[in-house]
Amino acid sequence: MSNLARLGTHRHAFCQHGHSQRLIHSHQFKSVYQPILSPTHQKLVGYEALVRVSRDHQTVSPVALFERAAQLNQTPELDRHLLDLHLDNFSVHSHPAWLFLNINPGTCEHPEDALQRLAERCTLRGIQPEQVVLELIETASGDHQALMTFIHNAKMLGFNIAIDDFGVGDSNFERLWRINPMIVKLDRSLLVNAEHNCRARLLLESLIRMIRESGSLVLLEGVESDDQARIAIETEVDLLQGYCFARPSALSNLLAGQAEAELEVVIHRSRKVSLEDVQSRENYLRQLQLVIRKACRRLVQGESLPCVSDNLLALDGIQRCFLLDHRGVQQGSLARARDDVGYHQFNPLYQSAGACWKHREYFQNAQAFPERINCSRPYVALPDAKRTVTLSTAIDNPQGHRVMCVDIHPDELFAGQMTFPATL
């Protein structure tokens, strides 16, 4: 993150002590801490240490300061100064919470030296290494072996490891599994995209689930609005951080209390909206079941698919209806909604009369459970290459055994958050 205090990079030899004094003493530094919260426990569990810099009462970008320090070969001294500041302010308040500290990639090139120094400084201030979470950018170090050695030594000393900004750039699952961090912090861009794009939200949910199943906790940072918080909570993410709960500030009991109170309000609002969404989805499913049952009764009485499909195709999300025989062969053409895009574009797969779908999940489910309306898992349908859920049920009409199939685009329903049960 661009505005964070970074721990020591030891690539630059220290020189010109006077320059170091001028750089450090000509600026004013203030440690601030941003709360990290657990929505499950509904309480604060950690703080990320950040720095605010000023000179002559003018705000200075930490990035600009570190660039200047690098030019003067003073980065290690600046790092140590800020590290002492963060640890001193944190130890004074003795909070029972994790302290998240960002690690400069250069630190990993001299892991024993940097880590031993950090462990000693923590001990002097009564902070156990187990209370400290070292944040690393997984792709920032050019020396992978040095990074792995640093991580190994850090864990041996008791420090916890977090991967920062995962999900952008060259983030790599293979490296993630090798590092095996306690916490993975997802880049805020993933949450922002999920707020405006249902497919991005599905990908975010899948990413969180995959990381958790691999053995790491997931932290979503940069949560700045109620909508983003609700999305984060609904993904079952483990930890939250962002302006929605608290801005970085000096440590105090008031900061912790305000952050937890804001989390409680956000969770309450999220549950209320989620309950309303659930009720709307349940109403849709009930209506869908009634319309499909009615269409099936008319088919059993001998009416044709085009005659009985009008009410179905008028329902939101439904794109196509079709019939299969006992072998899974499609009988006739598709009955389609008027706005079915695939019909108006060139697609040699669209005209599917006579195609055999016996290998499809929806046909097999209808044969196994003929009395039910079965819902397939989402898949990409051939006629339009869109995410589709197919509902299917078996009937017997004057032409013989048939399977009635209804294609639905779930991304068009409830902002893409519609999920279908196995059966209606």
Over the stretch 216-272, which tens digit does the pLDDT of each residue have?
999 999 999 999 999 999 999 999 999 999 999 999 888 999 999 999 999 999 989
More confident residue, 93 or 19: 93
pLDDT digits (tens, 9 = 90+) for 322-361: 999 999 999 998 898 866 655 556 667 667 889 999 999 9
Is residue 240 within 8 A of residue 46, CB to CB? The reply is: no
For residue range 9-64, what is the model confidence (pLDDT) as tens digits?
A: 333 333 344 444 568 888 999 999 999 999 999 999 999 999 999 998 899 998 89
- What residues does each domain of the chain span? 17-251, 301-416
Q: How far is CA 337 from CA 86, 334, 379, 390, 405, in A?
A: 62, 10, 19, 15, 14
Check if 17-251 and 301-416 are the same fold: no
CA dihedral sign of residues 410, 415, 421, 424: negative
* Residues comprising the chain, all counted: 424
Instruction: Report the greatest alpha carbon distance in the chain.
Output: 97
What pLDDT does 250 receive? 92
**CATH code, residues 17-251:** 3.20.20.450
Q: Where are the beta strands (DSSP E) in 247-399?
A: 318-324, 330-336, 374-375, 379-380, 387-397
Fold of 301-416: Beta-Lactamase (3.30.450)
pTM more than 0.85: no
